[in-house]
Chain A
């Protein structure tokens, strides 16, 4: 394999991995606060349609991104009001949010069908992008790719190295004692849910502005669910999400390359590899009980109602 091909393959993998990474990072923060939002798919597809539409109307892909982020955050607020203020069941509410998002995005996007999208331009960082191999890999990409990397580091730092991150984790681990310590549990969770929504919106915009610059119904095609899987796969640690997202991307791309090379494995088996791999890794991670216990937000999915 020549370096040229290796670079090309890596770039393909990066494009496939970026939306998963961003959506999963957002959901990580949500779950760290003790909330399980299964509506990622719905928020993503809303971001995709808003991003596409705003870019079409304003002519700027960047305004599209901004609109998608805002839309994702507002849409997740719907989930927030129900699960946080009204203490509804998070699993059912999240699933309903996905249903609503898929329907609403289809309605909004009816007039966008068949229009070529506005692609977000790659930004070549001066000097750095001239470094052989690495320059092309890391410093000649689009804005969302850079955001995804910075976001990973920022969230890692935030969750584990800051006071606010400690607050987030304590809310997720034991909301009752966090409340007793004077932390406004619901406020923290609201912020986390909206951050998750914003990330999902951005991830959706990546689909309709970078990955495949177009709008088609259900274009997320299950990526929101994979993002959810990645969070648990990474046992709620940001750096592992990067590994997971890129691994998932790599397996997907590898199966196409294997097929093109004439490797005769039933394609259904190849397609199921990422899922089987996730289960195996999951088992490997969970056999280390101490580590799992330390990282799993203990209050995940449980509603919290302050007794004032």
Chain B
């Protein structure tokens, strides 16, 4: 029998920290090439449209930033949750609530215009996401209710709540009863970063600034130390005088607030109104981004961009080589699996050993 054996490295392998993404990319490219050959497509053309084509013009790079911004923002918030052992998988719901809270102003008070609108909207968005994240945090801190489940259930509730709002009370009065809110006035639209070169909005700038700040907090401050200690061992954390309950609230509120900011940025910057669906699953994809980025905000920036690239590349491939979006999903899956598997190299030596039956028991 052949067995894979892992041997823990004494310390993180610096070499593999840098090279493992490249190895993963090579594996994905190889597996992908085989898949495309089987489908009768040119592998070079396919790989070109996945990884290069989206980077060949300015427009596409803007779109990459638009797609990556919510992923990076949400994943950055999630990193503090996951590092501190708070399994918030409800960011999708917090994103939606952020979008709803932030949109209340331009939808309910369309006459209220001016430079104050946008900052207020962003703050409201953060509050909305944070407040929604407080629910699973409260249930966990107070009743030790499993947060994976409660936060996931709240996603569905949030989706239905938004659905109800845009089909009912917040429906556009001039919109022939179609399910969407009124479109935001100009003061409520998040402006583009570089005017006229593309439509990337300030959401991307927020994402980068916040990720860098978060990296600083997590790695250079006492708070970051507290997060890690409580994550690794709640017992040790208690001895050090850190409060587990406080950390639950902090982690959820930060993650929820950032998801909420991502939500209102997306609504205000990229959509311009509320619709029954405002997220194609950013909150869930961000979980993958958080882990691909190894829960390190700087890594998350890279991971968010790579995942966004694979979405755009998937679209490009549908058009330029005519593969279906299912193929793109499979390719994305292969990419994720390869990256995850190769990260193992950082912490472990991998040995493939032949074992004889019975020997393993010795």
Asked if A and B touch directly (CB within 8 angstroms), the answer is: yes
Q: Which residues of A contact B (CB under 8 A)?
A: 78, 81-82, 85-89, 91-93, 95-97, 99-100, 102-104, 106-107, 110, 182, 184, 217, 225, 228-229, 232-233, 266, 268-269, 271-272, 275-276, 278-279, 282-283, 286-287, 289, 292, 296, 301, 305, 307-308
29 A-B pairs in the complex with CB atoms less than 8 angstroms apart: A85-B3, A86-B6, A92-B287, A92-B292, A93-B337, A96-B336, A96-B340, A100-B329, A100-B330, A103-B326, A103-B328, A103-B330, A103-B331, A184-B361, A217-B326, A228-B152, A229-B153, A232-B148, A266-B168, A268-B163, A275-B154, A279-B150, A283-B143, A286-B139, A286-B143, A286-B146, A301-B87, A307-B8, A308-B5
Q: Which residues of A contact B4 (CB under 8 A)?
A: 81, 85-86
User: Could you tell me the distance between the alpha carbons of A279 and B147 in the complex, rounded to whole angstroms?
Assistant: 10
Assuming A266-B168, A286-B145, A305-B348, is B333 touching A99 (CB within 8 A)?
yes
**CB pair B337 A82 closer than 8 Å:** yes
**Cβ 8 A contact of B139, one of A82, A87, A110, A283:** A283
**Cβ 8 A contact of B332, one of A103, A279, A308:** A103
**CB pair A92 B336 closer than 8 Å:** yes
User: Could you tell me the distance between the alpha carbons of A101 and B146 in the complex, rounded to whole angstroms?
Assistant: 27
User: Could you tell me the distance between the alpha carbons of A95 and B87 in the complex, rounded to whole angstroms?
Assistant: 14
| Interface: B350 (CB within 8 A) | yes
Describe A's contact surface by its main secondary structure. helix
Nearest first, the 9 A-B pairs at minimum CB distance are: A103-B329, A100-B333, A106-B326, A92-B291, A96-B336, A268-B164, A103-B330, A85-B4, A88-B340
Which residues of B in the span 313-362 have a Cβ within 8 Å of any Cβ on A?
324, 326-334, 336-337, 340-341, 343-344, 347-348, 350, 360-361
**CB pair A272 B146 closer than 8 Å:** no
| Nearest residue, chain B, Cβ from A81 | B4
Q: How far is the CB of A259 from chain B (nearest CB, A)?
A: 15
**CB pair A106 B340 closer than 8 Å:** no
| Nearest residue, chain A, Cβ from B163 | A268
User: Could you tell me the distance between the alpha carbons of A276 and B7 in the complex, rounded to whole angstroms?
Assistant: 45
| Interface: B170 (CB within 8 A) | no
Which residues of B in the span 28-57 have a Cβ within 8 Å of any Cβ on A?
none
Q: Which residues of B contact A (CB under 8 A)?
A: 3-8, 87, 89, 139, 143-146, 148-150, 152-154, 156-157, 160-161, 163-164, 167-168, 284, 287-288, 290-292, 324, 326-334, 336-337, 340-341, 343-344, 347-348, 350, 360-361
**Cβ 8 A contact of A82, one of B152, B328, B340:** B340
User: Could you tell me the distance between the alpha carbons of A301 and B86 in the complex, rounded to whole angstroms?
Assistant: 12
Assuming A103-B328, A182-B361, A266-B164, is B148 touching A96 (CB within 8 A)?
no
Assuming A106-B326, A268-B164, is B146 touching A232 (CB within 8 A)?
yes
Q: Which residues of B contact A88 (CB under 8 A)?
A: 340-341, 343-344
**Cβ 8 A contact of B327, one of A82, A91, A103:** A103
Assuming A107-B327, A286-B143, A289-B144, is B150 touching A96 (CB within 8 A)?
no
**Cβ 8 A contact of B330, one of A78, A89, A104, A268:** A104
User: Could you tell me the distance between the alpha carbons of A127 and B301 in the complex, rounded to whole angstroms?
Assistant: 66
**CB pair A87 B348 closer than 8 Å:** yes
Q: Which residues of A contact B360 (CB under 8 A)?
A: 184
**CB pair B163 A275 closer than 8 Å:** no
**CB pair A86 B341 closer than 8 Å:** yes
**Cβ 8 A contact of A229, one of B139, B152, B329:** B152
| Nearest residue, chain B, Cβ from A182 | B361
**CB pair B160 A272 closer than 8 Å:** yes
Q: Which residues of B contact A289 (CB under 8 A)?
A: 144
**CB pair A107 B330 closer than 8 Å:** yes
Q: How far is the CB of B357 from chain A (nearest CB, A)?
A: 12
**CB pair B146 A106 closer than 8 Å:** no
Assuming A104-B330, A225-B152, is B337 touching A95 (CB within 8 A)?
no
Q: How far is the CB of A275 from chain B (nearest CB, A)?
A: 4
Assuming A85-B4, A104-B326, A283-B145, is B153 touching A278 (CB within 8 A)?
yes
User: Could you tell me the distance between the alpha carbons of A182 and B163 in the complex, rounded to whole angstroms?
Assistant: 54
**Cβ 8 A contact of A86, one of B161, B336, B344:** B344
User: Could you tell me the distance between the alpha carbons of A305 and B3 in the complex, rounded to whole angstroms?
Assistant: 13
User: Could you tell me the distance between the alpha carbons of A85 and B3 in the complex, rounded to whole angstroms?
Assistant: 8
Assuming A229-B152, A278-B153, A292-B144, is B340 touching A92 (CB within 8 A)?
yes
Q: Which residues of A contact B146 (CB under 8 A)?
A: 232, 282, 286, 296
| Nearest residue, chain A, Cβ from B290 | A92
User: Could you tell me the distance between the alpha carbons of A60 and B5 in the complex, rounded to whole angstroms?
Assistant: 42
User: Could you tell me the distance between the alpha carbons of A89 and B144 in the complex, rounded to whole angstroms?
Assistant: 23
**Residue from B154, B330, B343 having most chain A Cβ neighbours under 10 A:** B330
Q: How far is the CB of A85 from chain B (nearest CB, A)?
A: 4
**CB pair B164 A87 closer than 8 Å:** no
User: Could you tell me the distance between the alpha carbons of A269 and B347 in the complex, rounded to whole angstroms?
Assistant: 47
**CB pair B153 A276 closer than 8 Å:** yes
Q: How far is the CB of A287 from chain B (nearest CB, A)?
A: 5
**Cβ 8 A contact of B161, one of A92, A268, A308:** A268
User: Could you tell me the distance between the alpha carbons of A104 and B5 in the complex, rounded to whole angstroms?
Assistant: 29
**CB pair B333 A96 closer than 8 Å:** yes
User: Could you tell me the distance between the alpha carbons of A35 and B337 in the complex, rounded to whole angstroms?
Assistant: 17
User: Could you tell me the distance between the alpha carbons of A99 and B311 in the complex, rounded to whole angstroms?
Assistant: 13
| Nearest residue, chain B, Cβ from A230 | B149
User: Could you tell me the distance between the alpha carbons of A296 and B145 in the complex, rounded to whole angstroms?
Assistant: 11
**Cβ 8 A contact of A275, one of B145, B156, B292:** B156
Q: Which residues of A contact B3 (CB under 8 A)?
A: 85
**Cβ 8 A contact of A278, one of B89, B149, B292, B344:** B149
User: Could you tell me the distance between the alpha carbons of A145 and B191 in the complex, rounded to whole angstroms?
Assistant: 56
**Residue from B146, B148, B161, B164 having most chain A Cβ neighbours under 10 A:** B146
Q: Which residues of B contact A87 (CB under 8 A)?
A: 6, 344, 347-348
User: Could you tell me the distance between the alpha carbons of A305 and B290 in the complex, rounded to whole angstroms?
Assistant: 22
Q: A275-B154, A286-B146 are in contact. List 19 more A-B contacts (CB 8 A).
A: A88-B340, A88-B341, A88-B343, A96-B340, A97-B333, A99-B329, A103-B331, A104-B333, A107-B324, A107-B326, A107-B330, A217-B326, A233-B149, A279-B145, A282-B139, A282-B146, A282-B153, A283-B145, A307-B8
| Nearest residue, chain A, Cβ from B360 | A184
**CB pair B324 A106 closer than 8 Å:** yes
